[in-house]
């Protein structure tokens, strides 16, 4: 584990897609119970940075440690990593032919070898956590976009992760549905869940972030507490949040 107790640690991380340098030596740390929000324009590298934490993308150079797992190690046990790290994407990725309950119990039964009874109890608990207990036996197509996203969050929570990653989870939703998903994330933060999220919801970021990372051209251009969103120190962040310096 990292010497200073960080749950997530990235050191001098580089990543290219062909000739395109997407991450150019980024560094950050997230302590237990902290919420880190990554912001930046399209193409700044923010989603790639997040996806590297769960080894959905491999890095070219540097080191990433998450919950004691050396993510950059080619021999990493991905199954062990993904028991500790939950990730929720912009697209809900629910299996359409399975009910909400079946979607949720799939991983605990297959990965954690939980009994079906225990997994179903857990499904009820996590659905209650996201306000969907009455949708247990519904299919994804019977749910609104916001409900599907909340079900996707519940599915991640069922694995009892130590860290949750959220990648633009509200960008496909209208404002009302966005609000209901953000409420769930706020409740998780209040419960002390360690989170890293990429979002373009600045008002939400201001209210929830312990630290904000502003990415610009593959680098961490400015970082600090949520107050940097109201008092940016670089012209690039000022322009991004629409502030006059």
- Mean pLDDT, the chain cut into blocks of 10 residues (245 residues total): 74 96 96 95 94 94 96 91 91 91 92 90 93 95 93 93 93 87 92 94 91 95 94 94 70
Residue 102: its pLDDT value, please? 95
Query: For residue 242, with 0-12 CB atoms within 10 Å meaning exposed, 13-18 middle and 19 or more buried, which class applies?
Result: exposed
Radius of gyration of the chain (CA): 18
For residue 163, the cross-strand partners are: 85, 194
Q: Are 195 and 188 in contact (CB under 8 A)?
A: yes
Q: How far is CA 240 from CA 35, 38, 197, in A?
A: 21, 13, 18
Residue 167: its pLDDT value, please? 93
CA 141 to chain centre: 24
Residue 1: its pLDDT value, please? 39
Please list the alpha-helical segments (H only) found in 30-129: 46-53, 78-84, 100-110, 116-129
CATH architecture of 8-241: 3-Layer(aba) Sandwich (3.40)
Residue 240: its pLDDT value, please? 93
Q: Are 245 and 232 in contact (CB under 8 A)?
A: yes
Residue 244: its pLDDT value, please? 56
Residue 3: its pLDDT value, please? 46
Residue 234: its pLDDT value, please? 93
Residue 4: its pLDDT value, please? 61
Query: For residue 16, with 0-12 CB atoms within 10 Å meaning exposed, 13-18 middle and 19 or more buried, which class applies?
Result: middle
CA 15 to chain centre: 19
Residue 143: its pLDDT value, please? 95
Residue 175: its pLDDT value, please? 86
Residue 191 DSSP label: T
């Amino acid at each position: 584990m990292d010497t200073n107790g960080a749950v997530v640690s990235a050191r001098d991380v580089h990543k290219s897609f062909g000739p395109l340098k997407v991450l150019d030596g980024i560094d950050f740390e997230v302590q237990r119970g902290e919420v880190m929000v990554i912001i930046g324009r399209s193409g700044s590298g923010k989603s790639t940075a997040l996806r590297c934490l769960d080894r959905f993308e491999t890095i070219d150079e540097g080191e990433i440690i998450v919950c004691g797992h050396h993510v950059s190690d080619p021999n990493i046990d991905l199954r062990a990593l993904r028991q500790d790290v939950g990730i929720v994407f912009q697209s809900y990725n629910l299996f359409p032919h399975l009910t909400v309950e079946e979607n949720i119990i799939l991983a605990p039964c297959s990965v954690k070898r939980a009994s079906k009874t225990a997994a179903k109890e857990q499904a009820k608990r996590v659905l209650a956590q996201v306000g969907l207990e009455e949708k247990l036996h519904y299919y994804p197509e019977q749910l609104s976009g916001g409900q599907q996203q909340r079900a996707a969050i519940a599915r991640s929570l069922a694995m009892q992760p130590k860290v949750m990653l959220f990648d633009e989870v509200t960008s496909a939703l209208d404002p009302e549905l966005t609000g209901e998903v953000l409420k769930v994330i706020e409740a998780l933060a209040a419960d002390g869940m360690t989170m890293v999220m990429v979002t373009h919801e600045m008002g939400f970021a201001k209210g929830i972030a312990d630290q904000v990372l502003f990415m610009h051209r593959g680098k961490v251009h400015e970082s600090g507490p949520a107050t940097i969103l109201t008092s940016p120190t670089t012209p690039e962040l000022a322009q991004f949040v629409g502030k006059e310096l």
